[in-house]
Structure 1
Amino acid sequence: MRFRFDLPEMMTERLHLRPMTMEDWPAYRVMMASDRVRFMGGPWEDDQIWGWFCHDIALWHLYGHGALMIERLEDGVTVGQVGLNAGPKFPETELGWFLYDGFEGQGYITEAAGAFRDWVFANLPFESVVSYVDENNKASARVAERLGAVVDPDAERPDPEDIVYRHVRP
């Protein structure tokens, strides 16, 4: 199956969700090499980080979904990323997110992930998607819960310690 389309962009009250560009690489690289990604299996080395960066972009062409960067409308600053993950590492299609250092506690991820989830259910044939959350990542668990996702104890998981939150089509 081949997907050819313009990548989506979304606006919320405070945010612009947009496709990734090479200008995103430096900040993405710093994030993925830092302790901030300890709940995602990192930190990683440059070659692994490049693989994740390309993965986030390539998914759009392979699966018809992928990742979008999150920019604040007020100043154009990129604060993080939201997207759907798929492929061999993910037993199910995952709604995932991360936030760059210094932007915590402002509701950006909940706002962006909610908008992206709504786009997914309006435009793609999924009846549900999951969020894999490390059992020690309380902040991401709170985001999943604010989005209305519920714990699915029977779902397959990439890491046996992950908690799987299920987002269901309304």
Structure 2
Amino acid sequence: MSAPTIETDRLILRGIEQQDLDGWAALMADSDSARFIGGVMGREAAWRSMAAMAGAWTLKGFSMFSVIEKATGRWIGRLGPWQPEGWPGTEVGWGLVRSAWGQGYAAEGATAAIDWAFATLGWSGVIHVIDPDNAPSIALAERLGSTDRGPVQLPPPLDHFNVRAWGQSREQWLSRCAAQR
């Protein structure tokens, strides 16, 4: 399956493309941005992580999207569905460049990605794998309606990370969305 394009008010979520490498490498080279999404890595390792996410579209029929800011056309991060082999659940995750923080982009994009995952992939639930020290992501998970489901184990080579799953069922998501209309 090739990635669809999803548009929100301010964002375009689209498949990962080779032209995204400069932004992806910059995201993963910044210690603050990369801290909770695998850690700092050089351009070559960033390319491999980007290629793994791009390849998941072919292998699994879903993966994270590249996030493009509509107003500028600038690549600002990656977010969306993610479940590599051994992952503790069906995740919608996010990682944005530092200059995009605090603008509501992660919430806007994650909401669209969760809607898409439930409607298109038929997921029964969604999690967000978050380090307990990542207060902004915990706040976003709560804003999305997720609750702390406790510690989870990531597969090697990520098994040394201390993470918790924040999540909710499809029914909880749909009920919350209906109540907000």
User: Could you state the TM-score of these two structures normalised by the residue count of structure 2?
Assistant: 0.84
Find out whether 1:10 has 2:10 as its counterpart: no
What corresponds to 2:107 in structure 1?
110
Q: Once the two structures are aligned, what percentage of the paired residues are identical?
A: 30
Structure 2: 5+ residue stretches without partners: 172-181
Q: Amino acid of the residue matched to residue 161 of structure 1?
A: N
Task: Please say which of residues 160-169 and 137-146 is displaced more in the overlay.
Answer: 160-169
Find out whether 1:19 has 2:15 as its counterpart: yes
What corresponds to 1:31 in structure 2?
27
Q: Amino acid of the residue matched to residue 85 of structure 2?
A: P
**1:82 touches 1:113 (CA, 8 Å); kept in 2?**
yes
- Report the alpha carbon displacement of residue 89 of structure 1 after superposing the two structures with TM: 5.3
Find out whether 1:54 has 2:51 as its counterpart: yes
What corresponds to 1:140 in structure 2?
137
SS at match of 1:102: helix
SS at match of 1:62: helix
SS at match of 1:91: coil
| Cα RMSD for the two superposed structures | 1.7
What corresponds to 1:129 in structure 2?
126
1:69 to 52, 63, 66: 66
**1:40 touches 1:134 (CA, 8 Å); kept in 2?**
no
Task: Please say which of residues 96-105 and 157-166 is displaced more in the overlay.
Answer: 157-166
What corresponds to 1:157 in structure 2?
153
SS at match of 2:87: coil
SS at match of 2:152: coil
- Which structure shows the higher helix fraction? 2
SS at match of 2:36: helix
In the alignment, the residues of structure 2 paired with residue 27 and residue 102 of structure 1 have an alpha-carbon distance, to the nearest angstrom, of 12
- Report the alpha carbon displacement of residue 104 of structure 1 after superposing the two structures with TM: 1.1
SS at match of 2:40: coil
- Report the alpha carbon displacement of residue 87 of structure 1 after superposing the two structures with TM: 1.9
What corresponds to 1:93 in structure 2?
90
Deviations 1:89-118 (A, max 9, x none): 522222110111211111000000000100
> Size of the alignment, in residue pairs?
165
